[in-house]
Amino acid sequence: MTIKLVLSDIADQRAYERERQEFRSQIIELKKRRRVHVGPVLTLVFENRDTIRFQIQEMARVEKLTTDTAIQAELDTYNPLVPSNGELCATVFIELTSEEEWREWLPNLVGIEGCLLLQLGAGDNAPRRRAIADEGHAEQLTRDEITASVHYVRWELTPAEVDLVASGPVSLVVDHSAYQHSHILDVATVGELLIDLQG
């Protein structure tokens, strides 16, 4: 069973500095297996307890957060991205490098967070599970004419669907009217997802 992060999981600044180099190297390797590119500008990172702990530790380091209240606020923000059993969570990045690309893509990709599907098996008739946008983040997406460059989503799978992930293949499919792409997940990524799904 996956356990959400609590205050005692977050090291204070001095303790974190002692572990940071090794922990950062571990997370870089972990994210290589959890990062998926779909089409030219969309990247997903499937999050887990370790990647979210790293995110919070780095935020605390950069912003010099030292009080329990400040750290708890970060835990409240990011804990929804720690997957529970039968669940996958991801941060979705629209990766753009210029103002011209921002003007081109962000208005055209409104609603992209609701157009991400996991296809469980091969062929057009394979079952698909649509992502759910994180409710707290979705409330902030109030503009209809432009989307954000970062989204938080999750998938809730039944035990039968988890079995389909294990038997493979698994694909990420985007069915947005302005962005239709798919990508078959490699074995290492599927292995990471099974750890999340099975707890």
The pLDDT of 140-163, averaged and rounded, is 87
pTM over 0.85: yes
Burial class for 155, CB neighbours closer than 10 Å (0-12, 13-18, 19+): buried
- Region 181-193 average pLDDT: 97
Contact 157, 87 (CB under 8 A): yes
Q: Which long-range contacts (CB under 8 A, 24 or more apart) does 187-192 make?
A: 188/33, 189/33, 189/34, 189/36, 189/46, 190/165, 191/33, 192/30, 192/33, 192/34, 192/46, 192/48
- What dihedral do alpha carbons 114, 116, 120, 122 form, nearest 10°? 130
CA 28 – CA 85 distance, rounded (Å): 24
As a whole number of angstroms, the distance between CA 91 and CA 113 comes to 10
The one-character DSSP state at 87 is: E
Q: Going by C-beta distance under 8 Å and a sequence separation of 6 or more, which residues neighbour residue 71? A: 7, 10, 56, 60, 65
What's the pLDDT at 119? 97
Mean of the per-residue pLDDT values of the chain: 93
When pLDDT is cut at 50, 70 and 90, the band that residue 137 belongs to is: low
Model confidence at 139: pLDDT above 90: no
CA dist 9 → 53, 64, 85, 134 (Å): 8, 17, 20, 23
Q: What is the pLDDT of residue 23?
A: 97
